[in-house]
Amino acid sequence: MAFNFGAPSGTSGTAAATAAPAGGFGGFGTTSTTAGSAFSFSAPTNTGTTGLFGGTQNKGFGFGTGFGTTTGTSTGLGTGLGTGLGFGGFNTQHQQQQTTLGGLFSQPTQAPTQSNQLINTASALSAPTLLGDERDAILAKWNQLQAFWGTGKGYFNNNIPPVEFTQENPFCRFKAVGYSCMPSNKDEDGLVVLVFNKKETEIRSQQQQLVESLHKVLGGNQTLTVNVEGTKTLPDDQTEVVIYVVERSPNGTSRRVPATTLYAHFEQANIKTQLQQLGVTLSMTRTELSPAQIKQLLQNPPAGVDPIIWEQAKVDNPDSEKLIPVPMVGFKELLRRLKVQDQMTKQHQTRLDIISEDISELQKNQTTSVAKIAQYKRKLMDLSHRTLQVLIKQEIQRKSGYAIQADEEQLRVQLDTIQGELNAPTQFKGRLNELMSQIRMQNHFGAVRSEERYYIDADLLREIKQHLKQQQEGLSHLISIIKDDLEDIKLVEHGLNEPIHIRGGVFS
């Protein structure tokens, strides 16, 4: 679930909301793009209002207004992302003409203003004047319930349209803040993500045909080469394919086409239609955020999210260098993140199984290697002894007929001294003899114990079992007789211990 901030091509007044993926950003504004010097997609220039970071009228962006989505021609981020991150909308204030860019940074028009919406929402929740009697209090509670749930319309005045309650409104209770990974790829890496409405096995089996089809979509230019960086399974039988395009120049050099340029080409109307025919449902770039963009993103809470909760989410961020807080609005977003989490858990488990198999194989190879090393050590020792014997014989033949030299005499004296120390009763020889005796005794006892084993014939074993069973039955019968006799003895003792007058009365 990485953020993917691309730069979609900005045609005037056209929203690219369908290109923004679930769980990823579609683009950080747009700039006027023309065909590159070597890479020519004939991308049209932007004729509409510039994007988030490019326009002079842009006074900064925020996550919507204080009370949720706005009306008019603009759409919030929740609309652009579908079941995506669920932002209420990145809007700017006091702009007349706005353009929805990549389904992310949508900027609303001026009707109604934020103050009017605030007043209307407050009236609908606290003091509606629709009926003019005590039923208005019940209507206020009903409007509060709708605001908590995040759906419905709040009627409060006969002359003013009702307030539309969405899940982005600040009173909606079904909200939480999670964390998503930030991409670390640069625009020069040229990575573009295409989400196909097909299974991963189908994509892998038709990968070559897919590459050829994408090459045709790019115009069939021979200087361009489409490469697949990787594939990943997504929930609902979808597959994420990461691609990049390499452009070769006539002088032999090559470079990757920037991700923003490739994404702008894919966002053209005719190109998008061809991609949809191939099964592409979403497309986005995978580029990292600049520190200024991250700072601007964190400073403004999303629409409908309490600033205190947003600040606490930033404090609780487990890794601020790699993760960024994102709001989760509604059960659909929670379900989507749950599916993605399950999918990643399955992928991690699969990877762990592969690692476990590799470890088992390495352990087997290690055992085999240890056995071979021990064998080679024994072989080396045998060869060393044989080499020493050959050297001794060769030296004897070479020195035959010569008198003993001084160094040889000195060596012979040293050897005699060592031999005498070894033969001394209290020295090494005596200890070696003692150890040899103990080893022989242990071997003898071990052989005796190993020989003292008894084997019983199967028929004899059955007879013994039958005899023991009969003995057990006899003992059980004897125990029952003894118990009965003990009961009789207790009865007799009880009769003897009764008072005498009772017995006399009985006898009379």
Among the candidates 343, 358, 374, a domain finishes at 343
Q: Are residues 146 and 257 in the same domain?
A: no
Distance CA(231)–CA(211), nearest Å, equals: 13
Report residue 54 as tokens.
């490019």
Q: Are residues 206 and 191 in the same domain?
A: yes
Q: Give domain status of residue 471, yes or no.
A: no
Q: Are residues 196 and 331 in the same domain?
A: yes
Return the residue matching tokens 């009627």.
155
User: Percentage of the chain with pLDDT > 90?
Assistant: 18
Q: If you ran DSSP here, which 8-state letter would residue 165 be given?
A: P
Domain that holds residue 249: 176-343
Q: Give domain status of residue 277, yes or no.
A: yes
Distance CA(4)–CA(437), nearest Å, equals: 80
Q: Give domain status of residue 399, yes or no.
A: no
The better pLDDT of the pair 186, 361 is held by 361
Amino acid at 397: Q
The better pLDDT of the pair 159, 499 is held by 159
Q: Are residues 125 and 186 in the same domain?
A: no
CA R_g for the chain: 45
| pLDDT in the model for residue 151 | 85
| pLDDT in the model for residue 453 | 60
The better pLDDT of the pair 74, 313 is held by 313
Q: Give domain status of residue 285, yes or no.
A: yes
Q: Give domain status of residue 481, yes or no.
A: no
Q: Is the pLDDT of residue 50 over 60?
A: no
Q: Give domain status of residue 279, yes or no.
A: yes
Q: Is the pLDDT of residue 33 over 90?
A: no
Q: Is the pLDDT of residue 5 over 60?
A: no
Q: What is the mean pLDDT of residues 340-362?
A: 93
Q: Give domain status of residue 397, yes or no.
A: no
Q: Are residues 122 and 234 in the same domain?
A: no
5: alpha, beta or left, given left = phi > 0 and alpha = psi -120 to 50?
Answer: beta
Q: Are residues 227 and 118 in the same domain?
A: no
Buried b (16+ CB within 10 A) or exposed e, 309-344: ebeebeeebeeeeeebbbbbbbeebbebbeebeebe
Among the candidates 315, 343, 371, a domain finishes at 343
Q: How many CB atoms lie within 10 A of CB 204?
A: 13
The overall average pLDDT reported for the chain is 75
Of the chain, the end-to-end C-alpha distance in Å amounts to: 105
Number of domains forming the structure of the chain: 2
Q: Is the pLDDT of residue 317 over 70?
A: yes
Residues in the chain: 508
Q: Are residues 334 and 240 in the same domain?
A: yes
Residues 6+ apart with CB under 8 A from 389: none
Q: Is the pLDDT of residue 385 over 80?
A: yes
* CB contact at 8 A, 20 and 81: yes
Q: What is the mean pLDDT of residues 485-491?
A: 91
| pLDDT in the model for residue 206 | 87
Report residue 88 as tokens.
């209420």
Q: Is the pLDDT of residue 354 over 70?
A: yes
CA distance readout (Å), 188 to 45, 75, 261, 409, 429: 21, 31, 10, 82, 79
Q: Are residues 236 and 156 in the same domain?
A: no
Q: Give domain status of residue 124, yes or no.
A: yes
| pLDDT in the model for residue 16 | 33
The better pLDDT of the pair 316, 54 is held by 316
For 84-98, 259-273, 371-385, which range has the lowest pLDDT when averaged over its residues?
84-98
Q: Are residues 141 and 262 in the same domain?
A: no
Distance CA(356)–CA(366), nearest Å, equals: 15
* CB contact at 8 A, 320 and 289: no
Residues 6+ apart with CB under 8 A from 182: 2, 3, 288, 289, 294, 322, 323, 324
Among the candidates 321, 343, 365, a domain finishes at 343
Q: Are residues 183 and 322 in the same domain?
A: yes
The better pLDDT of the pair 201, 403 is held by 201
Q: Are residues 212 and 165 in the same domain?
A: no
Q: Is the pLDDT of residue 382 over 60?
A: yes
| pLDDT in the model for residue 47 | 37
Q: Are residues 169 and 182 in the same domain?
A: no
Indicate which CATH number applies to the domain containing 245: 3.30.70.3310
